[in-house]
Amino acid sequence: MASAKKFDLYYFVTLLLVLISANANILSTSDILWFSVLGFMFLTAVFKKAINLDDVKTIAIFSLVYLIFIVIRDPFINGLDISYLLSDVVFLFKFIILVYLYCLILKNNAAAYIVTVITHLTIISFFFFALQLASTDLIYKISTTIGLPAPNQIPGYTNFLIFTFVKDFHDYSNSGFVWEPAAFGSFLILALLLNLSLNNFKFEKRSYILIAGVITTFATTDYLALLIVFFLVYRYKVPKINIWAIFIILVFAAMVVTIPILGSKISDTYYEDMDDLNRLKFLATYYKHNNMQIPLNRFSSMVYIYDNFGSSLILGVSNKYDAIVNKSYSINISNGIFDFLAKFGLVGLLYLLYRYARFFMKSVLKVEYVIYCILVLLVLGFGEPILSLPIILIFLFMEVDQKGFTKSGRINKTPLHSPTPIN
């Protein structure tokens, strides 16, 4: 008789990290559950003997620099009260310590496990998305029957960890396990980029599943990011500039101009966003009546944050900056780059991009290709507030293992070593 399949602790830990990052379910919105996951990861790291003195020194130095930064910035430069400083301290434990423990546990297998978990969740989403296309009423009934308490007040919002559905909002687009389709696509693009980096930029089964998932989101920013990924793969395979490279660039440009979901949607969104900024008082009355925040889109979110904070975005304001912008109107920000700038400033964004670029430099080995990787992240970040989520913050500590998968498609559990110390 065949023995039962061994429980994969690394897979389970990665699943917890991904679901917390999804920002769509009770696991990611309950502080009790969040810190329970944090405690579980700490115990796992201890059990696996994954923590040594150098690791403690690394996170201690990072934490000290972070604490000095927010202590100087919040009360002295920005003149904020103690509640903002406490919020930034909590962020250190909820997010930074969480991702550091994850990277200690998984070490150089982290990227491969993230790809595997997100791929499996994508396959699950196809089943529920098919039901959604067949009958939105049916999927809504299923969602409300087996769903957990909703983490937000959006009318028609349902989530049960592995799938999200918002009635009358996303009837024909796939949200997967994340809070909305474009955000789901961001997770898939990230997983695709990691998968390619682990497989010498060769498309294989996981890649095709992730690409299919991106297509089902019908999200403009995800499609643009996918085009950049395709071009990155081409340049990696054909490093010499030739007529075909120029032709591909022209084709991509033509697609952006002619395909409605790309070029015209971007321009239409811009003008609609500017119009929204000019009628915030009217929108505030409407959304307050419906117990909702004003959902500012990408461009209007960018302008609104800049108008409110200006040069303060160099160092950032606070992780709790929304308490300041919501004094006038209750706003929901959707631009991830300016959301991150408001939280940690240009200084924080540049450091995150440096660590992200350093990770991919070990795979692509060329500055040009790293620039494409950065462009992918910036496109995704412009579209969704993902940059401060654990799934992105892991790049602060994560390593690359170019032999992430074996030929059979299984995760290659090579000898592990500690995360690279922070420079």
pLDDT digits (tens, 9 = 90+) for 124-146: 999 999 999 998 888 888 888 87
Residue 1 has pLDDT above 60, yes or no: no
Q: Output 34 or 154, whichever has higher pLDDT.
A: 34
Beta bridge partners of 332: 295
pLDDT at residue 299 in the model: 87
Q: What integer is the mean pLDDT of 48-57?
A: 90
* Gap between the Cα atoms of 9 and 136, Å rounded: 36
Q: What is the pLDDT of residue 190?
A: 97
Confidence (pLDDT) at 419: 40
**Res. 43 pLDDT band, cuts 50 70 90:** very high
How far apart (Å, rounded) are the C-alpha atoms in residues 271 and 250? 26
* pLDDT classification of 387: cutoffs 50, 70, 90: very high
- Which CA distances in Å does 166 have to 150, 154, 210? 11, 8, 22
d(CA 384, CA 184): 10
pLDDT for the residue numbered 421: 35
Is pLDDT at 3 greater than 70 in this prediction? no
Predicted TM-score of the model (pTM): 0.89
- 101 pLDDT higher than 70: yes
Please enumerate in sequence order all residues whose Cβ is within 8 A of that of 116, keeping only pairs 6 or more positions apart, or say none: 11, 14, 206, 411
State residue 261's pLDDT score. 55
Judged by average pLDDT, the poorest of 86-95, 177-186, 259-268 is 259-268
> Measured at the alpha carbon of residue 171, what is the angle toward residues 378 and 142, in degrees to the nearest 5?
110
- pLDDT of amino acid 21: 96
Asked whether the beta carbons of 112 and 398 are under 8 A apart, the reply is no
The whole-angstrom separation of Cα 376 and Cα 379 is: 5
Measured CA to CA, the distance from residue 310 to residue 327 in angstroms comes to 17
CA triplet 138, 206, 191: central angle to 5 degrees? 85
Give the Cα separation of 42 and 40 in Å (integer).
5
CA gyration radius for the chain?
Answer: 21
Query: What average pLDDT score do residues 51-78 get?
Result: 94
Lowest pLDDT segment from 44-48, 137-141, 270-274, 405-409: 405-409
Dig out the tokens for 230 from the structure. Answer: 């395709």
Cβ atoms of residues 376 and 228 within 8 Å: yes
Token pair belonging to 49:
């003997």
* Per-residue pLDDT at 306: 92
- Average pLDDT value for residue range 91-106: 95
pLDDT tens profile 248-304: 666 666 666 555 555 566 667 777 777 777 777 777 777 776 667 777 888 888 989
Distances (CA, A) of 29 to 40, 64, 94, 136, 211: 17, 27, 11, 26, 29
Buried b (16+ CB within 10 A) or exposed e, 8-35: eebeebbbbbbbbbbbbbbbbbeeeebe
For the residues 104-126, what does the mean pLDDT come to?
95
Task: State the Cα–Cα distance between residues 221 and 356, nearest whole angstrom.
Answer: 20
Reported as a pLDDT band with limits 50, 70 and 90, residue 415 is: very low
Please indicate whether residue 151 or residue 272 has the higher confidence score (pLDDT): 272
Tens of pLDDT, residue by residue over 306-350, are 999 999 999 999 999 999 988 777 788 889 999 999 999 999 999
- Residues facing residue 294 across a β-bridge: 331
Higher pLDDT, 401 or 106: 106
Position with higher pLDDT, 374 vs 264: 374
